[in-house]
A = this chain, B = another copy of it.
Amino acid sequence: MSGETTDLIHPVILCGGSGTRLWPASRESFPKQFIPLAEAHRSSFQATAARVTNSNVFARPTVITANDARFIVAEQLAQAGLAADILLEPARRDSAAAVAIAALHAAAHQPDALVLILAADHVVGDDDAFAAAVQACSLGAKAGHIMTLGIMPTSPATAYGYIQPGDPLPGAAGQAGARVVQRFLEKPDAARAEGLIAEGALWNSGYFLFRADVILDEMRRHAPAVLAAAQASLSAAVRDLDFLRLDTDAFLASPQISLDYAVMEHTDRAAVLPVSFPWSDIGTWGALWEVSQQDANGNAVRGRVALQGTRNSLVHSEGELLTTVVGLDDVVVVATSDAVLVTSRQRGGEVKTLVEQLRARSEPEADAHRLMYRPWGSYQRIDIGSRFQVKRITVKPGARLSLQKHYHRAEHWVVVRGTAEVTVDERVSLVHENEAIYLPIGCVHRLTNPGKIPLELIEVQVGSYTGEDDIIRIEDVYGR
C-alpha cells in the first residue's frame, strides 16, 4: 500500500520491556510479554498482536523490540499465525524514541497515517470494548488530537499514572466520549490516589492513537533530539533476515525518555477517551492475580499445584514441578525449573530489588532462563557435574545450527525424536531416532534438522570445561 492513502490504523506494538518484577518466570532472556501468564496458551504479546488483526480496520502491524528478543518475536508471531514488520532497537531508550520511529515508519507510506501504540505486556479483558474504543479514538486522532485511553480506576492503584480529563472534544470524537486532557499526574501515594479517583481521574494506560504527522510535529517542537535520533537510525537501518535493524550509533544518540515526559505533558493536543474494560499492565505478580481467573477461595493457579487452607493467592508452577501451599493467605509462589519466588501479593513490587541483588551476586538465574531460545530452536540444561553437562536440544524443521567446534569438550548426541543431519569434519550422516553419534574434541561439526517435525536430541558433553563460550563459530546462517 506504498503511497496509498487509507483510513487503516497502523498498529505498533512496543515489545522492549524486561519485566523483572515478574521474575523468575520473566527474565531478561525471556521477558514477561512472551510468557503465557494471564492466559494459559498465549503470551500477552500474542494476545496484543491478535487484537489488531481485523484487516478492515488495521494495516499490517509493526513490532518494535530488542535485538535479543527478535527470534522470540518471530517465533511467537509464526506460532499464532500472524505477520508483522519487526524493527530492532539496539538498546533501551524508553517509549519516546520507539514512538518516533513508529511514526516515521508509518509516515514513509502515508504522512497522515493513523498510528496506534500498544504495549505488548498489557492485559485487556474485553477485546470488543477495546476495538470500539480504538474506533472512537480514531475520530479524535483524525481531527489532530493525540488520543490516549484512560482506564476508569477500579482501585486506588499507586502503580499507575493518572489523567485528569477536562472538557469534551468538539465534534464526533467528543460525542463518542473523548475529552481534552487537563493534566497528566505522576504515580500517587495511596491517599492521593483516593482523592484523584474522587475527582474523576483515569489511569494512564499508555495506549496512544494519533496521526503520524501530528506526533512528528509535536516531537519536532518538544523532543527534537529524540526525533533526530529516530530519523537517523531509521534511515540508516539495514535489513537482516526478516528484521529491520535500526542503526546503533544513531539510535544511541536519543535521550532515554518516555513519550509522556517527552511530549504528552507538554503538548496541547492531548485527549483522552475514558474506558471501563478490565485492564492491567501486569506490573507485579499481585496485579496478575487481580486479572487472573480465581477459584472459590480466590486462588489463581497455573501448572501442577496443590493447596490446603490457602486463600487469595497466586501459585504459578512451571514444567513438571509440583508446588504446594499450606495455611497461608495472600501469597505469591512462582516455581520454575531453576528458581523459586515466594512473596505476598502486596509486596511483589520488591521483586525488582531482589533481582538487582541477584545480579550483584552474579547469580545466573537473575537474567537467564534454563530454557534458552535460539533462532534454530531451543536448548535446556538438564544436568551438570564437575566434568560433564547434559542438554536437551530441540531443532525446528529445516533449521541448522552454526558450523562450530569446541576446544574443551567432546559431545555425544542421542536422537530421541525426528532425524538429524550431522556434519563431522568432512562427513555428513543422517542420525535417526534411537541412534547416537560421537563428536570428538576439536572436530568441526554442524547439526541440521532436514525433516518435517522437530528434532529432539540429548547432548552429553564431557570435558574439562563445558561453558557456552567454548563455541567457536565458523559459519552461521543466522549471522551470529
Partner of A328, one of B327, B342, B363, B412: B342
Residue in chain B with minimal CB distance to A415: B462
Q: Cβ of B340 and Cβ of A323 under 8 Å apart?
A: yes
A428 at the interface (CB under 8 A from B): no
Q: Is B306 touching A458 in the complex (CB atoms < 8 A)?
A: no
Interface residue from B324, B353, B462 paired with A341 (Cβ < 8 Å)? B324
Contact A340-B350, Cβ < 8 Å, known A306-B361, A436-B436: no
CB contact list, A304-340 vs B, under 8 A: 304, 306, 308-309, 317, 320-328, 331, 333, 335, 338-340
**A434 surroundings in chain B (CB, below 8 A):** 410, 462-463
Q: Does A121 contact B (CB under 8 A)?
A: no
| B385 touching A383, Cβ below 8 Å | no
A344 at the interface (CB under 8 A from B): yes
Residues on the B chain within 8 Å of A410, using CB: 434
| Pick from B308, B327, B328: contact of A357, CB under 8 Å | B308
List residues of chain B with CB within 8 A of the CB of A387: 416-417, 433
In angstroms, Cα B340 to Cα A342, docked, is 11
Return chain B residues, CB-CB under 8 Å to A32: none
**Distance, CA A358 to CA B323, complexed state (A):** 11
Interface pair A328/B347, CB less than 8 Å apart: yes
Residue from B309, B333, B338, B351 in contact with A321 in the complex, judged by beta carbons closer than 8 Å:
B338
CA distance A474 to B41 in the complex (A): 47
Whether A388 sits at the interface, judged by CB under 8 Å, is yes
Taking a contact as CB atoms closer than 8 A, the residue among B384, B436, B462 that contacts A438 in the complex is: B436
**Chain B: minimal CB distance from A321 (Å):** 6
Interface mask (A441-462 → B, CB under 8 Å = 1, otherwise 0): 0000000000000001010101
> What are the residues of chain B within 8 A of A306 when measuring CB–CB?
354, 357-358, 361, 363
A382 at the interface (CB under 8 A from B): yes
B344 touches A328 (CB 8 A): yes
Q: Is A140 interfacial (CB-CB < 8 Å)?
A: no
Separation of A442 and B390 alpha carbons in the complex (Å): 26
Q: Any chain B CB within 8 A of the CB of A400?
A: no
Which residues in B have their C-beta under 8 angstroms from that of A335? 335, 340
Q: In the complex, which residues of chain B have a beta carbon less than 8 angstroms from the beta carbon of A308?
A: 350, 353-354, 357
Q: Which of chain A's residues 256-292 have a Cβ closer than 8 Å to chain B?
A: none
Query: Does any Cβ of B come within 8 Å of A392's Cβ?
Result: yes
Complex Cα distance, B320 from A290, in Å, reads 32
Q: List residues of chain B with CB within 8 A of the CB of A328.
A: 331, 342-344, 347
A331 partner residues in chain B, CB cutoff 8 A: 328, 342
CB A168 to nearest CB in B, in angstroms, measures: 44
**In the complex, chain B residues whose CB is within 8 Å of the CB of A309:** 347, 350
Q: Which of B322, B458, B462 contacts A390 (CB 8 A)?
A: B458
A403 at the interface (CB under 8 A from B): no
The answer to whether A341 touches B363, judged by C-beta atoms less than 8 angstroms apart, is: no
Residue A414 at the chain B interface, CB threshold 8 Å: yes
Asked if A365 is an interface residue, CB under 8 A from chain B, the answer is: yes
A391 to B, closest residue via Cβ: B383
Check A348 for interface membership: any CB of B closer than 8 A. Answer: yes
Whether the pair A416, B392 counts as a contact (CB closer than 8 A) is no
B414 touches A460 (CB 8 A): yes
A163 CB to closest chain B CB (Å) equals 30
Contact A385 B339 (CB under 8 A): no
A-B contact pairs, 17 of them (CB 8 A): A306-B358, A306-B361, A306-B363, A308-B353, A317-B340, A326-B344, A327-B343, A328-B343, A383-B383, A383-B390, A385-B456, A386-B417, A388-B416, A388-B458, A390-B390, A416-B462, A436-B438
In the complex, besides A325-B343, A416-B460, 13 extra interface pairs with C-beta distance below 8 angstroms are A24-B324, A306-B354, A308-B350, A309-B347, A324-B339, A331-B342, A333-B340, A340-B340, A383-B390, A388-B456, A414-B462, A436-B436, A458-B460
Which residues of chain A have a CB within 8 Å of any CB of chain B? 24, 304, 306, 308-309, 317, 320-328, 331, 333, 335, 338-344, 346-348, 350-351, 353-354, 357-358, 361, 363, 365, 382-388, 390, 392, 410, 412, 414, 416-417, 433-434, 436, 438, 456, 458, 460, 462-463
